[in-house]
Structure 1
Amino acid sequence: MLAKGFSKPTDRVERLRSMIVNAVPCIEAERAVLITESYKATEGLPMIMRRAKALENILNNLTVTIRDDELVVGTLTKAVRSCQLFPENSYKWVMDEFDTIETRMADPFKISEEDKATLREVLPYWEDKTISDLASSYMSEKTQECIANGIFTVGNYFFGGVGHIIIDYDKAIRRGYKAIIQDAVEALKSFDCNDPEFIQKTQFCKAVITVLSAAINFAKRYSDKAKEMAAVETNPTRKAELLQIAANCENVPANGATNFYEACQSFIITQMILQVESSGHSESPGRFDQYMYPYLEKDLANGSITKDFAQELLDCVFVKLNDLNKVRDQISAQAFAGFQVFQNIGAGGQTEDGMDATNELSYMMMETVAHLRLSAPSFSIRVWQGTPDEFLYRACELARLGYGLPAMYNDEVIIPALTNRGISLHDARGYGLIGCVEPSVPGKEQGWHDAAFVNVAKILEITIHNGKVGDLQIGPKTGEVDTFKTLEDFMEAFQKQIEYFVYYVAEADNCVDYAHMERGELPFLSSFVADCISDAKGICAGGAKYNFTGPQAFGVADSGDSVYAIKKHIFDNKDITFAELKEAMDANFGYPVDSDTAPCSASAETDIEKDLYDQICKILGKEGISFSKQSTAAAAPAICSNNEKYERIRAMMDATECFGNDIDEVDMIARRCAQIYCYEVEKYRNPRGGQFQAGIYPVSANVLFGKDVGALPDGRLAKKPLADGCSPRAGKDVKGPTAAAASVAKLDHEVASNGTLYNQKFLPSAVAGDQGLMNFAAVIRSYFDKKGMHVQFNVVDKETLLDAQAHPENYKDLVVRVAGYSAMFTELAKEVQDDIINRTEQHF
């Protein structure tokens, strides 16, 4: 038997899991009060010291909470699975949403009237002082216009803190904070006072010493709290646990961990402080099985820990990662639906000298995921030619439990992609995964991943309309459709539009980058990234060894299918003219564009459109930015006299061969559409001295920003979801999983070094039994042999998902894969649920 099954979690772990599942996410005001208090008191200091003093104030005064049953401690909120606010990044949207945030479509949060009153008092201090304000002030009107018209968004760092990074956890856990403070002290001694950067370097190192000292005190406060609780605890077992927690927090993270238990505690304290410093997306643990295994191996060898207790500790660590949460504005919440913090944690792959890295902890992590059945953290495995079959089979066995985990990544593509960007082979082999799908070098890279969502399908639509969105000439004039004599004429126009808009993507990203450099430096995080301390320069100022910016595209399959449909019917078969197709598209193929199907950019009249309109105006600090009426909405009457004609055109275009069926002619066009974007992106550089690199993944933005796109040549109606990531369009990959995977593998993944994302959905019956397990693994091996970068799976049937929609109370803990992350199905907005339901159910 290949299938081994999974053990049951302990009663403690089940109770902790239930605590997460049953939690009602809340917003708490405590951090906002503390940072505002600090900023008011430090207005005369350099910004790096203001940042350090602010974190010091937070760590010294944030409420210390130890929850029932916990073996590892450290939390940022009094309530479970709740969050703090970060007004230094952006804040106006919070006040605007006080009365709607509890009932909004995606990721609702409760907030008490007391906290609302407190926040109304402290938040106005941040008027014109936020990172978002500064970034907006740098942006040109053209960039703002592009954002307002749904061509791209830079919301991730525009509204929030810097994240998408893997620090050097080994350094934090093995050496301890005191040793790193000593590094900063030695660096201070080495500075030459005649160096023009002497003052800046001195301030940076002093900031590092300040925050690490405060972090040590933060852990000490947990030690004191555990002792205080132990003093009144009547249960002798729990009393002993609390005293052990106190002893652990007394030693770590101040000093290096001496055993697996201390290493787990040091890891959690470090992770919590990273999150409270900036609330950055995707502060990812990276290769957990590599830096934690030496402690486990030693403890198991000398008998100081049992395998069962080590497993329970590991389960408790993963529960703690589920306790973290993050609130976003209502528009961003739709793009990142599912209460996700995007902490990607990994196992497997190869060592930095090219040997297989799989170890006992790698397998235990899979056991933990099976025990918890939760959406976080995002668990990933690395696969290469040396990956043991047993490890891959075990991963497939975990995947078919139906939690959307693990995601799987191909070393044979990612390592060359990274070396192509100038990363050394040694460092590239040690890559970890961040956020959704982004490869990054732990402790050495600030990749600025997930820097923008670029709507390639929207740009294709703009090309067809000669650079216009409605009556607004937003892009260059590249030709009316009746002037294109060949497909190459059209592709040349498409490429010019891509070139034009990527320029403004780069501008927008660099404006946000500069704003964080000036107002958002992170001395704590920088302490664990090379070469920040030795160069006395924070990550936002370019202190990391490797620096990148990674804006990602979506709508690739839609663009590829559309271009192929144009090629076949307009230029090859000549059974329709381009002008006729455009007319049908402008009329949405005769279908009414109602409130559920009209493009967001058509007007600002429906509720969701007005919300988006108002939100963008507030973010950009502009009034009266108007959405031009898009031709698809303006030209579509409620009842179209040309319905029959337009429906005939749509049926013909919709029946055209599609990406996802291993048809070279189709797949190569999708590949070309993606390459045009990727090659254009890599022409640009960022303020930290690094290069832009492209990715192809959407989070769940393919649903939200599909609303900005009118009807497309492939027969897709206006406002419908776009394809997710590199995946074929939903329901169009009809020749089985190997054909679909073969198509996706033909994309040039190595040039998309910021990451690509491929979702597959299997019927449970397709992967049942040992034969199903072998077939499952064979699809993955085949896809990776053909140079696919990433794949992840939903193993669930449509009927289950439909029943969960109808009866959410019965499926409170149903976990599904959304995009580069998993989420509780019933917590997703219905439109995201529908997108998952509509994905092709593969079988053999």
Structure 2
Amino acid sequence: MALSLRVERLKRDYLKIPKSVCPERTRLITESYKETEGQHPYIRRAKALQHILENKTIYIREGELLVGSQASRPGAASVFPETGANWVLDELDTFATREMRKFEVTDETKAELRQLLPYWEHQTILYQSMQRLNPETKFQHGFKYSVISPNLNLRGHVGHFIPNYGRIIRDGFQKVEEDARRMLAELDYAKPGSLDQGNFYESILIVSQAIKTFAERYAAEAIRLAELPETTEMRKAELQKIAEICRRVPYYGARTFQEALQSLWFIHLTVQIEGDGFAFSFGRTDQYLIEFYEKDVAENGLTEAEAQELVDCFCLKCNEIVRLADVPPKTSYFGGVNMTQNMALGGQTADGRDGYNMVSKLFLRGDENVHLDQPNTSIRVYEGSTDEFLLQAISDIKSGGGKPAVFNDKAIIPSLMRNGWATLEQARDYGIVGCVEPVLSNGTDGWTNAAMLNMAKCLELALHDGVEPFSGVQLGPKTGRPEDLTTYEAVEEAYNKQISYFVKQMVIMLNTWDQMHGELLPIPFMSAMIDGCLEKGMDVARGGAQYNYVGVQGVGLSNVTDSLKVLKDVVFEQKKLTLAEMVRILDQNFEGNEYFRVGLVNKVEKYGNNAGEVDNIAKRIAKGYCDEVSKYACVRGGMYRPGLFPVASHVPLGTVVGALPSGRLSGTPLNDGISPVSGCDVNGPTSVLLSVSRIDHEEVTNGTLLNMKLHPTALKTQEDMLKLVSLIRTFMNLKLMHVQFNVVSREELLAAQEDPESHRDLIVRVAGYSANFVDLDRKMQDDIINRTQQEL
């Protein structure tokens, strides 16, 4: 079922719109903050959102069936001064000329922002956090060749939530307001903490009315447009229906499929207006929308074509959220600056039945039809997943764009149940946040992409007694000079000591950021939709969620694994040279030793080929990182959780790492996630899966990432597609957590590099998300081109 003419036109218009900077939100939040100085942070934040929703510019595009926009005009990104005042002022003159993710900025916008932003300079998370770090950790944070990249939540809101959208769509904010009013009335102000609780409930009442007003403004705009003399009768009827829907949702519960989608869009949009975080995710959309689809079909005769057009409109709307990101670090660490609004389809229901339904089908088809980078569609698979479901997902994968990613119930459900953290029913209902992070739906604040830790840099420091070789600075602890590391076991021990030190430094940084978010940036609208917050009378930023933790990623696992295998074989067993001699060769970036380097690459076993010893090193290194991370608690009452995925940070993190024993040259990209090093996996996709399965995926509780690249000819026939079904079932039975497929030829990627304007619509899988290939920097493009192309 192809795109309707309506959605084709809307998509064509969307693709023509240039990205620009909008100062309106900055103006409105500054007005509100100046009026509320001295009030409780909960109230200030609620009133700020209320002021924005009551006064921001609204518009309805011609032909839209679902309405609501983030900024004052299409393609515009709002400025969030509470997180970005410091860096926006620094980059205001370069947004239009920088290499990546350009934004048009008018002189009027520059002048207004220069007038408004100084008010915020000492109120941001960045400024306040830097005042509180101890000198040692502050040095580690600011050092040019740092091991840790913890800046996502320092320069923006946290994001990475799956709110309980289903509850709001079903009951509306009227029920939230009713519950908050009752809890406020029952509050005993003689009890400690009750003052904060009272302010929290007041903030919920404010935002509940604010979203009602926001939707009603769209209803009024729809009526205004309907009454214009040039409006056709057909469009007039559509606008009148839009007005009726906006008067109802999301304050009242939805009754029809269109009302449910409009309610979902309004609340998801408002989340993005309240905070500028990445990865606000939809969760299990097919599970909470199916009742509205089936009811609409039964009672109103909704046709599949009508439902598909609505879903296609929704998928297109997801691409209208625009984030103004700083460079560096976000536009390089998160190449393409994708919003990663994840939507998980299929998998088991809470009671163990197959969750694949008609809404799953509509959204998979919608993703393939619209063929843009949002939503970040995923599927969940288990033993009961049907070939019909998998083949439909593969049809989407085959179209290019790297979606949907595949997640495995057999690995993720036991991981979420570790240490009694969740019941079986809760774990079965998991969703995916952002790139690859599995979370318990509706009640989790997991900070799931809080920081990256450069594992390869830790190995480099271990080989240099903690001295950073580019600068000569003692960056890590002294763990032994090369001459002192006389056994392979001593090298691993030195590496583990570096990991231990830098994990602790990372925790200190992130606990500081976490504390500051709670103090400065409550998010009452989000809190209204996160289970646990109303019951506790506490904002989610201060620990109100049912489940709290911080997720941190190790990057460079395969590079470390392959390097340790080389040291074990070549230095300590074959004794072809000493460790000190190896380090000197590395420090010279193999200059004059190219033949030796090629031998290290080609003649020593590499991770990804189902070779037992090197795969066991990977297992041990992964477990060491996971165990170290899992020791620590976060300020909101939970623990730290380890992940092994890079987003796109493996490219910039590689620039600060010198040559490695594996034969990798200085400054080149690290491997992505738990994928083998590009070009080193030579025994086919099943061998890759077997190697990766040696890692205990249940321990990697914040998620893993495995990339595979296929040539388009690998999926030409139905028989070819069934081979991929078989590979996915092998992946499932091996209990891997995640896999994703790029279906694109090397030739097409090279052509896009040479002629980007003719390939504006080429979507590729970067890491746990997809992006326009031509929006990526050259190093990231080269990394994708050089990935091993597998045959089925």
TM-score by length of 1: 0.92
- Select the residue among 2, 8, 24 that pairs with 2:2: 8
Task: State the 1:105 CA deviation.
Answer: 2.1
1:654 aligns with 2:650: no
Residue of structure 1 in register with 2:654 after alignment: 706
Task: State the 1:96 CA deviation.
Answer: 1.3
Residue of structure 1 in register with 2:177 after alignment: 181
Amino acid corresponding to residue 302 of structure 2 in structure 1? I
Partners of 1:419 and 1:146 lie apart in 2 by: 35
- Select the residue among 200, 218, 233 that pairs with 1:236: 233
Tell me if structure 1 keeps the 8 A contact 2:56–2:72: no
Partners of 2:729 and 2:10 lie apart in 1 by: 36
Residue of structure 2 in register with 1:595 after alignment: none
Partners of 1:721 and 1:80 lie apart in 2 by: 35
Partners of 2:101 and 2:689 lie apart in 1 by: 32
Residue of structure 2 in register with 1:837 after alignment: 785
Within a 5 Å distance, the mapping from 1:181-330 to structure 2 comes to 181-232=177-228, 233-330=230-327
CA deviation vs aligned residue, 1:258-295 (integer Å, no higher than 9, x gap): 11110011000001100010111111011000001100
Partners of 1:444 and 1:424 lie apart in 2 by: 14
Partners of 2:681 and 2:440 lie apart in 1 by: 34
Residue of structure 1 in register with 2:97 after alignment: 103
Partners of 1:265 and 1:734 lie apart in 2 by: 48
Identical amino acids, percent of aligned pairs: 41
Task: State the 1:146 CA deviation.
Answer: 2.2
Partners of 2:12 and 2:612 lie apart in 1 by: 49
1:728 aligns with 2:676: yes
Larger deviation, residues 139-148 vs 288-297: 139-148
Task: State the 1:484 CA deviation.
Answer: 1.7
Partners of 1:20 and 1:144 lie apart in 2 by: 43
Amino acid corresponding to residue 752 of structure 1 in structure 2? V
Partners of 2:729 and 2:575 lie apart in 1 by: 41
Residue of structure 2 in register with 1:451 after alignment: 450
CA deviation vs aligned residue, 1:213-251 (integer Å, no higher than 9, x gap): 111100000001111111104311111111111110001
**Aligned with 2:663: secondary structure?**
coil
CA deviation vs aligned residue, 1:354-387 (integer Å, no higher than 9, x gap): 1111111111111101110101110000001111
Partners of 1:187 and 1:47 lie apart in 2 by: 20
Residue of structure 1 in register with 2:464 after alignment: 465
Larger deviation, residues 282-291 vs 767-776: 767-776
Task: State the 1:394 CA deviation.
Answer: 1.5
Task: State the 1:71 CA deviation.
Answer: 0.2
Task: State the 1:648 CA deviation.
Answer: 3.4
Residue of structure 1 in register with 2:763 after alignment: 815
**Aligned with 2:377: secondary structure?**
strand
Larger deviation, residues 496-505 vs 231-240: 231-240
1:718 aligns with 2:666: yes
Residue of structure 1 in register with 2:491 after alignment: 490
**Aligned with 1:89: secondary structure?**
helix
1:760 aligns with 2:708: yes
Partners of 1:589 and 1:469 lie apart in 2 by: 18
Tell me if structure 2 keeps the 8 A contact 1:521–1:540: yes
**Aligned with 1:156: secondary structure?**
coil
Within a 5 Å distance, the mapping from 1:33-182 to structure 2 comes to 33-147=27-141, 148=143, 149-182=145-178
**Aligned with 2:698: secondary structure?**
helix
Task: State the 1:652 CA deviation.
Answer: 2.5
**Aligned with 1:382: secondary structure?**
strand
1:351 aligns with 2:352: no
Residue of structure 2 in register with 1:825 after alignment: 773
Within a 5 Å distance, the mapping from 1:270-669 to structure 2 comes to 270-331=267-328, 332-421=330-419, 422-470=421-469, 471-590=472-591, 643=592, 646-655=593-602, 656-669=604-617
Partners of 1:782 and 1:54 lie apart in 2 by: 51
User: Which segments of 5 or more consecutive residues in structure 1 lack a partner in the other structure?
Assistant: 1-6, 591-642
Partners of 1:49 and 1:485 lie apart in 2 by: 62
Tell me if structure 2 keeps the 8 A contact 1:101–1:330: no
Tell me if structure 1 keeps the 8 A contact 2:24–2:72: no
Task: State the 1:793 CA deviation.
Answer: 0.6
Amino acid corresponding to residue 814 of structure 1 in structure 2? L
Task: State the 1:651 CA deviation.
Answer: 2.2
Amino acid corresponding to residue 456 of structure 2 in structure 1? A
Amino acid corresponding to residue 612 of structure 2 in structure 1? D
- Select the residue among 765, 786, 807 that pairs with 2:734: 786
**Aligned with 2:595: secondary structure?**
helix
Tell me if structure 2 keeps the 8 A contact 1:150–1:705: no
Tell me if structure 1 keeps the 8 A contact 2:551–2:702: yes
Amino acid corresponding to residue 167 of structure 1 in structure 2? P
Tell me if structure 2 keeps the 8 A contact 1:581–1:649: no
Tell me if structure 2 keeps the 8 A contact 1:468–1:474: yes
Equivalenced residue count is 784
CA deviation vs aligned residue, 1:601-626 (integer Å, no higher than 9, x gap): xxxxxxxxxxxxxxxxxxxxxxxxxx
Residue of structure 2 in register with 1:622 after alignment: none
Amino acid corresponding to residue 186 of structure 1 in structure 2? R
Task: State the 1:191 CA deviation.
Answer: 1.0
Tell me if structure 2 keeps the 8 A contact 1:89–1:160: yes
Partners of 1:423 and 1:90 lie apart in 2 by: 36
Tell me if structure 2 keeps the 8 A contact 1:184–1:205: yes
Partners of 2:158 and 2:216 lie apart in 1 by: 27
Larger deviation, residues 718-727 vs 392-401: 392-401
Task: State the 1:303 CA deviation.
Answer: 3.8
CA deviation vs aligned residue, 1:388-409 (integer Å, no higher than 9, x gap): 1211122112211111100000
Task: State the 1:171 CA deviation.
Answer: 1.1
Partners of 2:73 and 2:782 lie apart in 1 by: 31
Partners of 1:465 and 1:158 lie apart in 2 by: 31
Amino acid corresponding to residue 450 of structure 1 in structure 2? N
- Select the residue among 717, 723, 728 that pairs with 1:775: 723
Q: Report the RMSD for the aligned CA atoms in angstroms.
A: 1.1
**Aligned with 2:686: secondary structure?**
helix
Task: State the 1:23 CA deviation.
Answer: 2.2
Residue of structure 2 in register with 1:631 after alignment: none
1:671 aligns with 2:671: no
Tell me if structure 1 keeps the 8 A contact 2:225–2:231: no
Partners of 1:180 and 1:118 lie apart in 2 by: 37
Partners of 1:130 and 1:833 lie apart in 2 by: 34
Larger deviation, residues 549-558 vs 295-304: 295-304
User: Which segments of 5 or more consecutive residues in structure 2 lack a partner in the other structure?
Assistant: none
CA deviation vs aligned residue, 1:328-352 (integer Å, no higher than 9, x gap): 1101111112131110011001011
Tell me if structure 2 keeps the 8 A contact 1:352–1:429: yes
Amino acid corresponding to residue 297 of structure 1 in structure 2? E
Task: State the 1:424 CA deviation.
Answer: 2.2
Tell me if structure 2 keeps the 8 A contact 1:62–1:76: no
Tell me if structure 2 keeps the 8 A contact 1:465–1:480: yes
Larger deviation, residues 209-218 vs 420-429: 420-429
**Aligned with 1:461: secondary structure?**
helix
Task: State the 1:173 CA deviation.
Answer: 0.5
TM-score by length of 2: 0.98
